[in-house]
C-alpha cells in the first residue's frame, strides 16, 4: 500500500477545501454542469485517443499502483537464498511445498517452472517476456494519465469560454456579471485541480512504481535462474544483490 | 470499426452542446465568419506546410483509422496454421482456392506470392517494404493532425484579436461591448474545441492504430514466410505468437 | 512550382482580410509603427542569432522552395534508363550530346563526370558531399524560419506592452482607452499572423521540400553511379526504384 | 560551501523584499492561507508523485549540495601522488596511518581497500558502483526539485482561481474588489517566486554539483586503482590529470 | 568582429526606442526599481543555478563571441600550404621564424610543437583536447544565456504581480490605477525585451560561433598533423578542404 499517494491526495484536497471554506461557503465551488463539461470532455477526448480496452484498463492499473505491495529486496533475497539451500540439499522437487507460502503469482509461476525442471534459459526468457508486457501496460497507463492531465485544463478552458460568451451576451443584467464570471472560472479551476493534484502526480508515481516492480521481478528472475542452474546460496545472493545499492546490502544466510 | 473514437466524438459534442444549451440559446455560439477564420486559417496554414497530395490524403487516412477493422491475432494465427497444414499436405498450389476467402488485400498479395512459389526471403523483403510505406503514410498523417491541433487555437486567437480590435474601435456604442467580446471569443472557443476534441485525440488514435495494424501485418509476413519455407503448422503458430503477450496466447490446432 | 504554398498564403490572407473587412474598415488594422516594431524587432533578433550570410541566404532558400520544380521519379528513371542504353550501345562519350537536354545543374555535373570517365566511387562520393551541403543549407533555413516564428509573437507582445503602458499613462482622456488598446493589440495580431500563416508553415514546407529534393538527387547519384559501373538499363531501373514505394513503380523500358 | 547559492538566495529575496517595501507595507504581501494552499498543494502533489523515502531524502540532498565542499582537483592529485610514493617506498600497509588524515568517507573506503590488498579491478568496480548510486540519488533529487518548480506555479494559479471566484461572488461590496483581487494574486506570486528563485535554480545547481562531485570521485577511483596496480607517482598524476582541462594542469611532485 | 550581432542589437533598441518615443515621452518607460527586480532577480537565479566561476566567465565568453575574428578557411589553407612547402624544403626548424606572424595562440602552440619535432599523433591528441575544452566552455555559456532568457520574463512577471497587488490595495485613489498598472507592466516589458532581444539571440549566436571556431581549429589541427607527418603541400590542402563545402574550394598553391 503506497501511503504517500493516499496521504498526498487526502491532504491536498483538505488544503484546497480549507482555502475554499475559509473564504466563504463551499457551495459556490460546486457546480454540476461545470464538472460535467470538464471531466466529461476530458474523458471523451481520452476515449478518442486510446482504444476501449486501454481506456478501461487505466483504473485497474492505478488501483494496483496504490494498493500493491512490492516486497523489500532483502525479503526477496532471504527467501531465494533459502530456496537455493533447499534445492542443493533436497533437489528441486522439495521446493514444491514452498510454493504455497508465496503470495506473488509471478514468483509462484517461476518456482513452478523450477520444480518442473525446465531449462534455466527458457525460464529466464519466458519470465523476461512477462516483465516486458508489464512495463508495456504501465507505460500505456502513464501515457493515458498524462493525456488526461493535458486534456483536463484544456476542457476547463473550453468550459470557461462557453461561460464567458453566455455571460457577455446577457450584460443587460449587470448584477449577474460577477456570478457569471465566477461560474465560468469554475471549469478552469476543476481542470487545473484535476490535472495538478491527480493526473500528473499519479502519472509520475506510476513511472516510479513501474521501475520498482520491474526491479523486484528482475531480481526474482535472476534468483530462479541461478537456482535452476544449481548455483549455491552465496552465489544466488551475490547475483541478486547486484540490483541494489552498496549501502543497503546485508549479509544473508540460508535459514532453513 | 473503432467504436471508442465514434462514441468519444459524439459524446464529446453532446457534452459541449449540453453545456451551451443549459446556459441559453445555442445560436449565440454559431457564427459563420468566426468559423471561417478559425477553420479556414488552419486549413491554409496546413496547405502551406504540407504538399497537396499529403494534405488531400489525410481524410482517407483518418477514415481508414476509424472504419478499418484489424483482425484479432488469434484469427490470423488460426488461418495461417490451417494454410500451413494445407501446404504440407497438398502443396502450395492448393492454397490458391483459399485466396478468395481472404478479405485483406495485403494478405491476398502474400498468399499469391506463396502460390507463385516465390523465394521466402524475397516475399519477406517485398512485404516488409509495404509495411514501411504504410507506417510512413500514418506518420505523415499524424504530423498533419498534430499541426492542425496547433494551428486551430492559433487562428482562434488571431480571430479573437481581430474581434477585439474591432470592438475596441467602436466603443462609442457601449451597449455593444458585451456582444462584441462574446463574438471575439467564439474563434478561440472554436479553435480550442477543434484541437482538443478532434485533432489532437485523433492524432493519438492514429499512432495507436498504426502500431496495431503494423503488428498484424508483420504477423502475416512472418506466417507467409514460415509457410514458404515449408515449416510445419506448430512452428508457424509459435513464430506468430512471439508477437503477442504471454497471457493472450492460446493453443491453436490446424482445423482443415 | 509548389502550388499548395502559394494557394495557402493567398487564401489565408484572403480569409483574414475578409474577416477584417466584414467587421468594418481595414484601415484600423494597418498601423506602420506597429508593423515596424513587430517585423523590425524580429529581424533584429534574427540578425543577432545568425551570421550575416545565413540571414541573407534565407530569402533565396525560401524562393527556391516555392519556385523549384522537383522532377517526378518516373521521369528521372526513364531518362536514366535511356542513358544506360546509350552508354551500353555507343559508350559514355555518346552521352555528351544529351547534356544539353538536361536542365538541372546537379544532373549535368554528374553526366559530365560520367562522360569524363571518372571513377564510379569518386562520382558517388563527390555528388554525395553536394547533397550533404544542400541538406545543411536547408536545415539552417528551417532553423531561421522557426526562430522567426518564435520571435515574431514575442516582439508582438513587446509592442503591445509598450502600447498598454502608453495608453494607461494617458487615462486622463478616457475616450482614448479603446483606441489605445486596439492599437496596442495590433502588434500581437501582426506577430501571431506572421508566425502562424507564414514562418511556421514555411519552415515545415522547407523540411518536406528538402526531403523530396534529397531523394531526387540521391536517385540521380544512384543512377549515374550504376551507368558508370556499366550496369544494363534494367539494373539501373531497379536500383533507382528502390527509392520509391511499391505502388508507384512502373515498368520502364529504354526508349532511344 | 557553495557561496554562490547562498548569495543568490539572500540577494534575490532582498531584491524582491526591497521592491515590496519601496511600494508600501510588506504586510499586504503576507497571507497565511495563500501560503498554505500554494506550498501545501505543491508538497501534496510531490508526495503523490514520489515515494515517501524519495520525498524525505530531498532535504538532505539539497543541504549537501549547498554545504558540501568538493576538494579541488590539484589537492586530490597532490595527495594521491604522495600516497603513490609512499606505496612504492614502504608498501601499501604504510598508507594505513594516512587514513586518519582523510576527511572524505569515500576516499577513506578506497584507501582501506588499498591497505587490505584487494584486487585493483575489484576496487574500481565496487567504487564505481557507489558513484552510480550517488548519481542516481542526485538525478532523483533534480527531478523532485523540477517537479516542485512546475507544481508551485500550478497551485499558485489554483489558489488565484479560488480567490477570484470568491471575490466575484461577493461583488455586492464593490469596495472589496481591489483587496479581493490583490489577495487572489498573492498565491500566483508565491508560486512564481518559489519556482523561479528556489526550485528551478536549485535543480540546476544540483545537476552542476552532481557532475563536479562525480568527477572528483572518479579521479579518486582512478588514483587508487593506479596505486593498487603499483604505478609510479608520475603515472598516477598523468592518469588523474586526464580528467581536468589542459590549462589547469600543474606539475605535481611527490611531497613526502 | 561579428557585425550582424552589433547591428542587430543597436537596430533593435533603436526600433523599440522609436516606438516608445513616437507614442510619448521615454521617461515613463524608465523605472529603476522595476529594472532592479527584473535584472536583479534574474542575476540572483543565475547565481544560484551556476557556480561562481561559470557565472563570471559568461561575460568574457560573450565578449569573445562578438569581438573574435575567425580566419576564413581559404586563408588558413593558404598559410598551411606555405608551411608545408617550407617544411619540405628547409625542414621543420625553418618554420620557427613564421611563428611570429601568426596571431592566433592556438595556431602558435601547434606550430611550436611542430618545430619541437613532437610526434604527429601526440600533437593531434593534445590539440584535440583543447578544442573539447573550448566547446565545453561555449556549451556552458549557451546554457547560462538560455537560463537568463527564461529567468528574465519570469522575474518580469513576478515584478508585475508585486505591482498589481500594490495597485489593487490602494484603489481608494482611483486616478492612480492607470499609472500603477503602467508601472506594474514595465517589469514584464523589461523581461520580455531582455530575453528576446539579448539573451536568446545571443545564446543562438554563441552556438553558431562555437561551431565555426571549432571547425577552424580542427582545420588547423588537421593541417599541422599533416605537415608533422611530412605530407606534401597538395595533400595538406586536400585534407583541409574536406572541412569546407564543394563550392567554396579553391585551387591553392604554395606561395613562398
Contact predicate B65/C222, CB 8 Å: no
3-state secondary structure of A31: coil
Q: What is the mean pLDDT of residues D181-197?
A: 94
B138 burial (CB, 10 Å; 0-12 / 13-18 / 19+) is buried
CA distance D126 to D225: 11
D191-213 pLDDT, tens digit per residue, is: 999 999 999 999 999 999 999 88
Please choose, from the candidates B66, E147, E205, D140, the residue with its C-alpha nearest in 3D space to the C-alpha of residue C49. E205
Q: In chain D, pLDDT over 70 holds for what percent of residues? A: 96
If you measure CA to CA, which chain E residue comes closest to C170?
Answer: E178
D45 contacts A12? CB cut-off 8 A = yes
pLDDT reported for residue D9: 93
Phi, psi of A206 (to 5 degrees): -60, -40
Q: DSSP letter for C97, please.
A: G
Is the pLDDT score of B249 beyond 80?
A: no
Is chain C in touch with chain E: ≥3 Cβ pairs within 8 A? yes
CA distance C217 to C102: 14
Strands (E), B70-185: none
3-state secondary structure of E193: helix
Cα–chain-centroid distance for residue E52? 20
pLDDT classification of D64: cutoffs 50, 70, 90: confident
pLDDT: is A176 or B222 the higher one? B222
Within an 8 Å CB–CB cutoff, is residue D205 touching chain E? yes
Q: In chain B, pLDDT over 70 holds for what percent of residues? A: 96
pLDDT classification of A68: cutoffs 50, 70, 90: confident
D97-124 pLDDT, tens digit per residue, is: 888 888 788 899 899 999 988 899 988 9
C50 contact residues in E (CB cutoff 8 A):
4, 204-205, 208
D20 contacts E162? CB cut-off 8 A = yes
Within an 8 Å CB–CB cutoff, is residue C192 touching chain E? no
Which residue from D192, D212, D245 is facing E154, i.e. has the nearest CB? D192
Q: What is the mean pLDDT of chain A?
A: 88
Phi, psi of B104 (to 5 degrees): -70, 120
Please choose, from the candidates E78, B212, E44, the residue with its C-alpha nearest in 3D space to the C-alpha of residue D10. E44
Is chain D in touch with chain B: ≥3 Cβ pairs within 8 A? no
Is the pLDDT score of B24 beyond 80?
A: no
CA distance C48 to C155: 14
Which residue from D41, D54, D170 is facing A16, i.e. has the nearest CB? D41
Within an 8 Å CB–CB cutoff, is residue B27 touching chain A? no
Contact predicate D88/D226, CB 8 Å: no
A11 contact residues in D (CB cutoff 8 A):
40, 44, 47
Is the pLDDT score of C83 beyond 70?
A: yes
Name D172's Cβ contacts closer than 8 Å, sequence gap at least 6: none
pLDDT classification of A174: cutoffs 50, 70, 90: low
pLDDT reported for residue C146: 96
A116-128 pLDDT, tens digit per residue, is: 888 999 899 888 8
E5 contacts C47? CB cut-off 8 A = yes
CA distance B238 to E179: 78
Q: What is the mean pLDDT of residues A19-24?
A: 84
Number of other residues whose CB lies within 10 A of the CB of residue C239: 17
pLDDT reported for residue E172: 65
CA distance B14 to B22: 12
Is the pLDDT score of C245 beyond 80?
A: no
How many angstroms separate the Cα of B148 from the Cα of each of A159, B141, E163? 21, 11, 38
Helices C200-228 & B32-49 angle (0-180, nearest 10): 30
pLDDT reported for residue B246: 66
pLDDT reported for residue E194: 96
The C-alpha cell at E155 is 522575474
pLDDT reported for residue B99: 87
How many angstroms separate the Cα of D87 from the Cα of each of B172, D83, D227, D241? 93, 6, 7, 20
B159 contact residues in C (CB cutoff 8 A):
19
Contact predicate B196/B145, CB 8 Å: no
Cell 500493491 sits on residue: A68
pLDDT in tens, chain E (256 residues): 578 899 999 999 999 999 898 877 788 899 998 999 999 999 999 999 998 889 998 988 888 888 878 888 888 999 999 999 999 898 888 888 888 888 788 899 899 999 988 899 988 988 888 888 888 889 999 999 999 999 999 999 999 999 999 888 876 666 678 888 888 999 999 999 999 999 999 999 999 999 988 989 999 999 999 999 988 898 888 888 888 876 677 777 777 6
pLDDT reported for residue A145: 96
- Nearest CA to CA, how far is D44 from chain A (Å)? 4
pLDDT: is D3 or C24 the higher one? D3
Is chain A in touch with chain B: ≥3 Cβ pairs within 8 A? yes
E54 contacts D208? CB cut-off 8 A = yes
Please choose, from the candidates D237, D230, D225, D239, the residue with its C-alpha nearest in 3D space to the C-alpha of residue D128. D225
D21-61 pLDDT, tens digit per residue, is: 887 778 889 999 899 999 999 999 999 999 888 999 898 88
CA distance D104 to C152: 53
pLDDT classification of B1: cutoffs 50, 70, 90: low
D126 contact residues in A (CB cutoff 8 A):
246
The C-alpha cell at A144 is 493515458
pLDDT reported for residue E246: 66
B144-178 pLDDT, tens digit per residue, is: 999 999 999 999 999 999 999 988 887 666 667 88
pLDDT reported for residue E203: 95
**Rg of the Cα trace of chain C?**
26
CA distance D200 to B127: 50
pLDDT classification of B2: cutoffs 50, 70, 90: confident
Which residue from A52, A133, A166 is facing B3, i.e. has the nearest CB? A52
Name C9's Cβ contacts closer than 8 Å, sequence gap at least 6: B44, B48, C197, C198
pLDDT reported for residue E84: 92
Name the CA dihedral angle for D178, D184, D186, D187, rounded to a multiple of 10 degrees: -170
pLDDT reported for residue B147: 97
A170 contact residues in B (CB cutoff 8 A):
24, 178
The C-alpha cell at D76 is 586530490
pLDDT reported for residue B180: 86
The C-alpha cell at D136 is 542516481
**H helix count then E strand count, chain D:** 9, 0
Number of other residues whose CB lies within 10 A of the CB of residue A171: 18
Contact predicate D162/A19, CB 8 Å: yes
CA distance B228 to B232: 10
pLDDT: is C188 or E60 the higher one? C188
Q: What is the mean pLDDT of residues C188-193?
A: 96
Is the pLDDT score of C1 beyond 70?
A: no
**H or E stretch at D137:** helix D120-169
Which residue from E41, E47, E49 is facing D7, i.e. has the nearest CB? E47
Q: In chain C, pLDDT over 90 holds for what percent of residues? A: 43
Cell 524608465 sits on residue: E30
Q: What is the mean pLDDT of chain B?
A: 88
The C-alpha cell at D160 is 488565484
Q: DSSP letter for E176, please.
A: G
CA distance B40 to C15: 7
The residue length of chain E stands at 256
pLDDT classification of C17: cutoffs 50, 70, 90: very high
CA distance B22 to B29: 13
E168 contact residues in D (CB cutoff 8 A):
178-179, 181-182, 185
Please choose, from the candidates B95, B117, B122, B121, the residue with its C-alpha nearest in 3D space to the C-alpha of residue B107. B95
Which residue from D37, D47, D154 is facing A4, i.e. has the nearest CB? D47
Which residue from B5, B185, B204 is facing A161, i.e. has the nearest CB? B185
3-state secondary structure of A153: helix
Within 115-154 of E, beta carbons closer than 8 Å to D belong to: 126, 129-130, 133, 136, 147, 151, 154
How many angstroms separate the Cα of D126 from the Cα of each of A172, A218, D109, D131, E27? 77, 21, 10, 9, 66
Is the pLDDT score of B38 beyond 60?
A: yes
Interface size A-D, in CB pairs within 8 Å, comes to: 129
Show which subunits contact B, needing at least 3 CB pairs below 8 angstroms: A, C
Is the pLDDT score of B79 beyond 80?
A: yes
Which residue from A3, A179, A185 is facing D161, i.e. has the nearest CB? A185
**H helix count then E strand count, chain C:** 9, 0
A204 contacts D48? CB cut-off 8 A = yes
pLDDT reported for residue C136: 86
Is the pLDDT score of C161 beyond 90?
A: yes
Please choose, from the candidates D173, D176, D164, the residue with its C-alpha nearest in 3D space to the C-alpha of residue E169. D176
Is the pLDDT score of C191 beyond 70?
A: yes
Q: What is the DSSP string of B177-227?
A: HHHHHHHHHHHHHHHHHIIIIIIHHHHHHHHHHHHHHHHHHHHHHHHHHHH
CA distance C28 to E244: 51
Amino acid at each position: 500500500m503506497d501511503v504517500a499517494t493516499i496521504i498526498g491526495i487526502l491532504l491536498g484536497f483538505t488544503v484546497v477545501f480549507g482555502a475554499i471554506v475559509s473564504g466563504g461557503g463551499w457551495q459556490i465551488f460546486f457546480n454540476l454542469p461545470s464538472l460535467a463539461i470538464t471531466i466529461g470532455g476530458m474523458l471523451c477526448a481520452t476515449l478518442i485517443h486510446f482504444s476501449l480496452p486501454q481506456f478501461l484498463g487505466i483504473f485497474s492499473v492505478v488501483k494496483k499502483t496504490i494498493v500493491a505491495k512490492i516486497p523489500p529486496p532483502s525479503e526477496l533475497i532471504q527467501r531465494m537464498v533459502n530456496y537455493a539451500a533447499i534445492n542443493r540439499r533436497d533437489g528441486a522437487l522439495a521446493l514444491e511445498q514452498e510454493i504455497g507460502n508465496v503470495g506473488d503469482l509471478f514468483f509462484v509461476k517461476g518456482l513452478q517452472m523450477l520444480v518442473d525442471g525446465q531449462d534455466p534459459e527458457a525460464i529466464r526468457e519466458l519470465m523476461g517476456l512477462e516483465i516486458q508486457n508489464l512495463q508495456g501496460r504501465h507505460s500505456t497507463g502513464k501515457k493515458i494519465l498524462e493525456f488526461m492531465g493535458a486534456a483536463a485544463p484544456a476542457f476547463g478552458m473550453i468550459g470557461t469560454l462557453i461561460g464567458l460568451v453566455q455571460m457577455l451576451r446577457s450584460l443587460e443584467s449587470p448584477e449577474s456579471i460577477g456570478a457569471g464570471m465566477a461560474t465560468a472560472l469554475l471549469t478552469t479551476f476543476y481542470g487545473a485541480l484535476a490535472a495538478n493534484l491527480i493526473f500528473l502526480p499519479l502519472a509520475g508515481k506510476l513511472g516510479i512504481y513501474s521501475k520498482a516492480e520491474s526491479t523486484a521481478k528482475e531480481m526474482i528472475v535472476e534468483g530462479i535462474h541461478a537456482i535452476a542452474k544449481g548455483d549455491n546460496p552465496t552465489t544466488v545472493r551475490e547475483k541478486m544483490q547486484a540490483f541494489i545499492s552498496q549501502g543497503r546490502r546485508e549479509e544473508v544466510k540460508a535459514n532453513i
